[in-house]
Amino acid sequence: MEAKVSESWPRGEFAYEPKWDGFRSLSWNGGEIRLDSRNQKTLLRYFPELREPISRLPLGTVVDGEIVVVVDDVTEFDSLQQRIHPAESRIKRLAAEFPAQLVAFDLLALAGSDLRSQPFAERRRHLRDLVPGLGHPWNLTPSTDDEEEGKRWFDAFESAGCDGIIAKDLQSAYIHGKRAMIKIKHRRTVDCVVGGYREHKDGGKIGSLLLGLYNDQGQMHFIGHCSGFPDGQREEIFHRFQELRAEASFGEGARVPGGISRWTGEKDLSWTPIANVVVAEISYDQLEEGRFRHATRFHRWRPDKDPRSCTMDQLERPSGVGFSGVVT
Protein backbone atom coordinates (compact mmCIF):
# COMPACT_ATOMS: atom_id res chain seq x y z
CA MET A 1 0.00 0.00 0.00
CA GLU A 2 1.38 3.39 -0.98
CA ALA A 3 0.85 7.03 -0.04
CA LYS A 4 -0.08 10.22 -1.87
CA VAL A 5 1.47 13.53 -0.88
CA SER A 6 -0.68 16.24 0.66
CA GLU A 7 0.16 19.65 2.08
CA SER A 8 -2.92 19.62 4.33
CA TRP A 9 -4.10 17.31 7.07
CA PRO A 10 -6.94 14.96 6.13
CA ARG A 11 -10.41 15.03 7.65
CA GLY A 12 -11.89 11.93 9.25
CA GLU A 13 -10.74 9.13 11.53
CA PHE A 14 -7.03 8.58 10.93
CA ALA A 15 -3.99 7.17 12.65
CA TYR A 16 -0.91 9.39 12.45
CA GLU A 17 2.59 7.91 12.32
CA PRO A 18 6.12 9.22 11.64
CA LYS A 19 7.30 8.87 8.05
CA TRP A 20 10.65 7.06 8.26
CA ASP A 21 13.51 7.82 5.90
CA GLY A 22 14.66 4.35 4.86
CA PHE A 23 13.90 1.51 2.47
CA ARG A 24 10.29 0.34 2.50
CA SER A 25 10.23 -3.45 2.87
CA LEU A 26 8.18 -6.53 3.63
CA SER A 27 9.65 -9.01 6.13
CA TRP A 28 8.40 -12.59 5.62
CA ASN A 29 8.72 -15.80 7.57
CA GLY A 30 7.03 -18.37 5.41
CA GLY A 31 9.48 -21.13 6.17
CA GLU A 32 11.75 -19.31 3.73
CA ILE A 33 13.02 -16.01 5.17
CA ARG A 34 12.44 -13.07 2.85
CA LEU A 35 13.06 -9.32 2.90
CA ASP A 36 11.53 -7.73 -0.19
CA SER A 37 11.49 -4.19 -1.53
CA ARG A 38 8.37 -2.36 -2.66
CA ASN A 39 9.03 -3.53 -6.25
CA GLN A 40 9.49 -7.14 -5.06
CA LYS A 41 13.30 -7.20 -5.27
CA THR A 42 15.06 -9.25 -2.62
CA LEU A 43 17.04 -7.19 -0.10
CA LEU A 44 18.49 -9.89 2.16
CA ARG A 45 21.74 -9.99 0.18
CA TYR A 46 22.38 -6.37 1.15
CA PHE A 47 21.19 -6.74 4.77
CA PRO A 48 22.36 -10.20 5.87
CA GLU A 49 22.24 -9.19 9.55
CA LEU A 50 18.44 -9.02 9.31
CA ARG A 51 17.93 -12.68 8.40
CA GLU A 52 18.04 -13.90 12.00
CA PRO A 53 15.69 -11.17 13.37
CA ILE A 54 13.15 -11.93 10.63
CA SER A 55 13.34 -15.63 11.51
CA ARG A 56 11.95 -14.72 14.95
CA LEU A 57 8.59 -13.88 13.36
CA PRO A 58 5.95 -16.58 13.88
CA LEU A 59 5.72 -18.89 10.88
CA GLY A 60 3.29 -17.43 8.33
CA THR A 61 3.83 -13.78 9.36
CA VAL A 62 4.41 -10.78 7.07
CA VAL A 63 5.38 -7.34 8.44
CA ASP A 64 5.31 -4.08 6.46
CA GLY A 65 7.98 -1.65 7.60
CA GLU A 66 11.15 0.27 6.93
CA ILE A 67 14.81 -0.67 6.92
CA VAL A 68 16.87 2.09 8.55
CA VAL A 69 20.47 2.68 9.55
CA VAL A 70 20.83 4.70 12.74
CA VAL A 71 24.00 6.72 13.39
CA ASP A 72 24.29 8.85 16.53
CA ASP A 73 20.60 8.17 17.23
CA VAL A 74 19.44 9.58 13.87
CA THR A 75 18.43 7.65 10.75
CA GLU A 76 21.04 8.21 8.04
CA PHE A 77 19.96 7.51 4.49
CA ASP A 78 23.44 7.86 2.97
CA SER A 79 24.76 5.02 5.15
CA LEU A 80 21.73 2.93 4.22
CA GLN A 81 22.16 3.59 0.51
CA GLN A 82 25.81 2.50 0.62
CA ARG A 83 24.64 -1.03 1.39
CA ILE A 84 23.28 -1.50 -2.15
CA HIS A 85 26.64 -2.55 -3.53
CA PRO A 86 27.87 -5.45 -5.69
CA ALA A 87 30.82 -6.30 -3.42
CA GLU A 88 29.86 -8.82 -0.72
CA SER A 89 32.95 -7.92 1.34
CA ARG A 90 31.82 -4.28 1.52
CA ILE A 91 28.30 -5.30 2.55
CA LYS A 92 29.63 -7.50 5.36
CA ARG A 93 31.93 -4.74 6.61
CA LEU A 94 29.17 -2.13 6.65
CA ALA A 95 26.74 -4.59 8.26
CA ALA A 96 29.18 -4.93 11.13
CA GLU A 97 29.99 -1.21 11.40
CA PHE A 98 26.48 0.20 10.88
CA PRO A 99 23.93 -2.63 11.27
CA ALA A 100 20.46 -2.00 9.91
CA GLN A 101 17.30 -1.97 12.01
CA LEU A 102 13.64 -2.68 11.20
CA VAL A 103 10.77 -0.31 11.99
CA ALA A 104 7.40 -2.11 11.86
CA PHE A 105 4.26 -0.16 10.98
CA ASP A 106 1.76 -2.67 9.56
CA LEU A 107 0.95 -6.38 9.69
CA LEU A 108 -0.31 -8.26 6.64
CA ALA A 109 -0.34 -11.80 8.04
CA LEU A 110 0.09 -13.33 11.48
CA ALA A 111 0.87 -17.01 12.10
CA GLY A 112 -0.81 -18.02 8.84
CA SER A 113 -3.85 -15.73 9.16
CA ASP A 114 -4.30 -13.17 6.37
CA LEU A 115 -5.03 -9.80 8.01
CA ARG A 116 -5.18 -7.62 4.89
CA SER A 117 -8.97 -7.35 4.84
CA GLN A 118 -9.10 -6.24 8.47
CA PRO A 119 -9.25 -2.52 9.31
CA PHE A 120 -5.95 -0.85 10.11
CA ALA A 121 -6.97 -0.34 13.76
CA GLU A 122 -7.22 -4.12 14.17
CA ARG A 123 -3.96 -4.82 12.32
CA ARG A 124 -2.25 -2.26 14.53
CA ARG A 125 -3.49 -4.01 17.66
CA HIS A 126 -1.95 -7.29 16.51
CA LEU A 127 1.29 -5.51 15.56
CA ARG A 128 1.49 -3.83 18.96
CA ASP A 129 1.21 -7.24 20.64
CA LEU A 130 3.82 -8.83 18.33
CA VAL A 131 6.78 -6.48 18.02
CA PRO A 132 7.87 -5.99 21.67
CA GLY A 133 8.57 -9.71 21.95
CA LEU A 134 10.82 -9.80 18.87
CA GLY A 135 13.73 -7.92 20.46
CA HIS A 136 16.44 -5.79 18.81
CA PRO A 137 16.71 -4.71 15.98
CA TRP A 138 12.90 -4.69 15.68
CA ASN A 139 11.19 -1.39 16.51
CA LEU A 140 7.51 -0.44 16.66
CA THR A 141 6.63 2.92 15.15
CA PRO A 142 4.40 5.11 17.35
CA SER A 143 0.82 5.69 16.25
CA THR A 144 -1.88 8.05 17.48
CA ASP A 145 -5.44 8.89 16.46
CA ASP A 146 -5.08 12.35 18.04
CA GLU A 147 -4.53 14.88 15.25
CA GLU A 148 -2.98 17.43 17.60
CA GLU A 149 -0.49 14.84 18.80
CA GLY A 150 0.30 13.96 15.17
CA LYS A 151 0.96 17.64 14.44
CA ARG A 152 3.30 17.80 17.44
CA TRP A 153 5.17 14.74 16.16
CA PHE A 154 5.47 16.39 12.73
CA ASP A 155 7.96 18.86 14.23
CA ALA A 156 9.26 17.00 17.28
CA PHE A 157 10.37 13.82 15.47
CA GLU A 158 12.23 15.44 12.59
CA SER A 159 15.43 15.43 14.66
CA ALA A 160 15.26 11.61 14.74
CA GLY A 161 15.28 11.43 10.94
CA CYS A 162 11.54 11.48 10.24
CA ASP A 163 10.57 13.58 7.24
CA GLY A 164 6.87 14.01 7.90
CA ILE A 165 3.74 12.17 8.97
CA ILE A 166 1.77 9.31 7.39
CA ALA A 167 -2.01 9.38 7.91
CA LYS A 168 -3.87 6.03 7.69
CA ASP A 169 -7.61 5.53 7.63
CA LEU A 170 -8.39 3.57 10.80
CA GLN A 171 -11.10 1.57 9.02
CA SER A 172 -9.20 0.86 5.80
CA ALA A 173 -8.15 -2.59 4.65
CA TYR A 174 -4.62 -3.08 3.30
CA ILE A 175 -4.94 -2.18 -0.39
CA HIS A 176 -2.02 -3.35 -2.51
CA GLY A 177 -0.61 -0.89 -5.05
CA LYS A 178 -3.07 1.88 -4.15
CA ARG A 179 -2.18 5.29 -2.75
CA ALA A 180 -4.54 4.79 0.16
CA MET A 181 -2.37 6.55 2.76
CA ILE A 182 -1.63 10.27 3.01
CA LYS A 183 1.89 11.65 3.36
CA ILE A 184 2.39 15.11 4.88
CA LYS A 185 6.00 16.23 4.38
CA HIS A 186 8.18 19.09 5.60
CA ARG A 187 8.94 21.92 3.16
CA ARG A 188 11.12 24.98 3.75
CA THR A 189 12.30 27.79 1.49
CA VAL A 190 15.85 28.97 0.92
CA ASP A 191 17.60 31.37 -1.47
CA CYS A 192 20.27 29.65 -3.59
CA VAL A 193 22.81 30.76 -6.17
CA VAL A 194 22.47 29.14 -9.59
CA GLY A 195 25.96 27.74 -10.26
CA GLY A 196 25.24 25.94 -13.50
CA TYR A 197 22.76 23.97 -15.55
CA ARG A 198 22.24 20.71 -17.35
CA GLU A 199 20.75 20.81 -20.82
CA HIS A 200 17.50 18.96 -21.46
CA LYS A 201 17.81 15.65 -23.31
CA ASP A 202 15.88 17.23 -26.23
CA GLY A 203 18.50 19.96 -26.55
CA GLY A 204 18.13 23.72 -26.60
CA LYS A 205 16.36 24.05 -23.26
CA ILE A 206 16.98 23.74 -19.55
CA GLY A 207 16.96 20.30 -17.99
CA SER A 208 17.90 21.32 -14.44
CA LEU A 209 19.55 24.12 -12.51
CA LEU A 210 22.48 23.32 -10.21
CA LEU A 211 22.25 25.19 -6.93
CA GLY A 212 24.87 26.38 -4.48
CA LEU A 213 25.33 28.04 -1.10
CA TYR A 214 28.38 29.78 0.36
CA ASN A 215 30.13 28.35 3.41
CA ASP A 216 31.93 30.30 6.17
CA GLN A 217 35.12 30.38 4.08
CA GLY A 218 33.36 32.03 1.15
CA GLN A 219 33.37 28.93 -1.07
CA MET A 220 30.24 28.02 -2.95
CA HIS A 221 29.22 24.38 -2.49
CA PHE A 222 26.88 22.44 -4.74
CA ILE A 223 23.81 21.62 -2.65
CA GLY A 224 21.23 20.23 -5.07
CA HIS A 225 19.23 20.76 -8.22
CA CYS A 226 15.91 22.08 -9.44
CA SER A 227 14.19 20.71 -12.52
CA GLY A 228 10.45 21.34 -12.34
CA PHE A 229 9.91 23.99 -15.01
CA PRO A 230 7.00 24.28 -17.46
CA ASP A 231 8.01 23.41 -21.02
CA GLY A 232 7.16 26.93 -22.15
CA GLN A 233 9.86 28.39 -19.87
CA ARG A 234 12.67 25.92 -20.50
CA GLU A 235 13.90 27.52 -23.74
CA GLU A 236 13.73 31.02 -22.28
CA ILE A 237 15.76 30.01 -19.19
CA PHE A 238 18.30 28.15 -21.35
CA HIS A 239 18.95 31.16 -23.59
CA ARG A 240 19.25 33.43 -20.57
CA PHE A 241 21.97 31.28 -19.05
CA GLN A 242 23.86 30.91 -22.34
CA GLU A 243 24.98 34.53 -21.84
CA LEU A 244 26.27 33.77 -18.32
CA ARG A 245 28.50 30.76 -19.09
CA ALA A 246 31.75 30.76 -17.14
CA GLU A 247 34.88 28.65 -16.65
CA ALA A 248 33.95 27.71 -13.07
CA SER A 249 31.33 28.46 -10.46
CA PHE A 250 31.63 26.19 -7.42
CA GLY A 251 34.65 26.80 -5.20
CA GLU A 252 37.95 24.97 -5.58
CA GLY A 253 37.90 21.98 -3.25
CA ALA A 254 34.18 22.47 -2.61
CA ARG A 255 31.43 19.96 -3.35
CA VAL A 256 30.57 19.95 -7.07
CA PRO A 257 27.86 18.18 -9.10
CA GLY A 258 28.53 14.47 -9.43
CA GLY A 259 29.18 12.39 -12.51
CA ILE A 260 28.20 8.89 -13.55
CA SER A 261 27.97 6.41 -10.68
CA ARG A 262 26.31 3.10 -9.93
CA TRP A 263 23.18 5.07 -8.97
CA THR A 264 22.94 6.98 -12.26
CA GLY A 265 24.01 4.33 -14.79
CA GLU A 266 24.89 5.80 -18.17
CA LYS A 267 22.78 8.94 -17.79
CA ASP A 268 24.49 12.04 -19.19
CA LEU A 269 25.33 14.24 -16.19
CA SER A 270 27.56 16.78 -17.93
CA TRP A 271 26.86 20.37 -16.90
CA THR A 272 27.76 23.95 -17.74
CA PRO A 273 28.96 26.42 -15.06
CA ILE A 274 27.65 29.99 -15.08
CA ALA A 275 28.67 33.21 -13.33
CA ASN A 276 27.43 33.35 -9.73
CA VAL A 277 25.01 36.22 -10.21
CA VAL A 278 21.53 34.63 -10.32
CA VAL A 279 19.57 33.82 -7.14
CA ALA A 280 16.50 31.60 -7.00
CA GLU A 281 14.15 30.96 -4.10
CA ILE A 282 13.37 27.25 -3.86
CA SER A 283 11.71 24.93 -1.36
CA TYR A 284 13.05 21.61 -0.15
CA ASP A 285 11.84 18.77 2.01
CA GLN A 286 14.96 17.07 3.39
CA LEU A 287 18.65 17.60 4.01
CA GLU A 288 21.19 14.79 3.88
CA GLU A 289 24.87 15.39 4.65
CA GLY A 290 24.56 19.12 3.99
CA ARG A 291 22.72 18.88 0.66
CA PHE A 292 19.15 18.59 -0.58
CA ARG A 293 18.07 14.97 -0.58
CA HIS A 294 15.50 15.34 -3.39
CA ALA A 295 14.92 17.73 -6.26
CA THR A 296 13.77 21.11 -5.03
CA ARG A 297 10.75 23.14 -6.11
CA PHE A 298 11.31 26.49 -7.86
CA HIS A 299 9.37 29.45 -6.44
CA ARG A 300 10.75 32.66 -7.95
CA TRP A 301 13.85 34.53 -9.09
CA ARG A 302 15.39 36.91 -6.53
CA PRO A 303 17.07 39.78 -8.46
CA ASP A 304 16.95 41.79 -5.22
CA LYS A 305 19.19 39.28 -3.43
CA ASP A 306 23.00 39.53 -3.21
CA PRO A 307 24.39 36.08 -4.17
CA ARG A 308 27.00 36.35 -1.40
CA SER A 309 24.22 36.48 1.17
CA CYS A 310 23.09 32.98 0.15
CA THR A 311 24.89 31.07 2.86
CA MET A 312 24.67 27.66 4.49
CA ASP A 313 23.29 29.11 7.71
CA GLN A 314 19.88 29.46 6.00
CA LEU A 315 19.44 25.70 6.31
CA GLU A 316 17.41 24.57 9.29
CA ARG A 317 18.88 21.71 11.27
CA PRO A 318 16.28 20.33 13.68
CA SER A 319 17.29 19.38 17.20
CA GLY A 320 15.43 17.34 19.73
CA VAL A 321 14.50 13.72 20.34
CA GLY A 322 16.55 10.95 18.73
CA PHE A 323 15.49 7.70 17.07
CA SER A 324 15.52 5.75 20.34
CA GLY A 325 13.15 8.31 21.86
CA VAL A 326 10.55 7.77 19.14
CA VAL A 327 10.27 3.99 18.62
CA THR A 328 9.37 1.31 21.17
Stretch (H or E) spanning 17: strand 14-18
Stretch (H or E) spanning 138: strand 138-140
Q: How would you label 158-172 residue by residue, b for 16+ Cβ within 10 Å and e otherwise? A: bbbbbbbbbbbbbeb
Q: CA distances (Å), 117 to each of 107, 108, 224, 243, in order?
A: 11, 9, 42, 60
Which pairing describes strands 100-110 and 61-71: parallel, antiparallel, or unpaired?
A: antiparallel
Q: Which of 19, 151, 168, 178 is catalytic?
A: 19
* Neighbouring C-alpha atoms within 13 Å toward the C-beta of 27: 31
Are the CB atoms for 186 and 158 separated by under 8 Å? yes
Query: For this structure, is 205 an active site residue?
Result: no
Stretch (H or E) spanning 300: strand 297-301
Are the CB atoms for 221 and 254 separated by under 8 Å? yes
N-to-C CA span, the chain: 23
* DSSP 8-state secondary structure symbol assigned to residue 279: E
Give me the sign of the Cα torsion angle 9, 320, 313, 288.
Answer: negative
Q: Write the burial class of residue 285 (CB in 10 Å: 0-12 exposed, 13-18 middle, 19+ buried).
A: middle
Are the CB atoms for 255 and 224 separated by under 8 Å? no
Nearest-angstrom CA–CA distance, 301 and 138? 46
Nearest-angstrom CA–CA distance, 12 and 66? 26
Q: Name residue 91's amino acid.
A: I
Are the CB atoms for 312 and 214 separated by under 8 Å? yes
Active site residues: 19
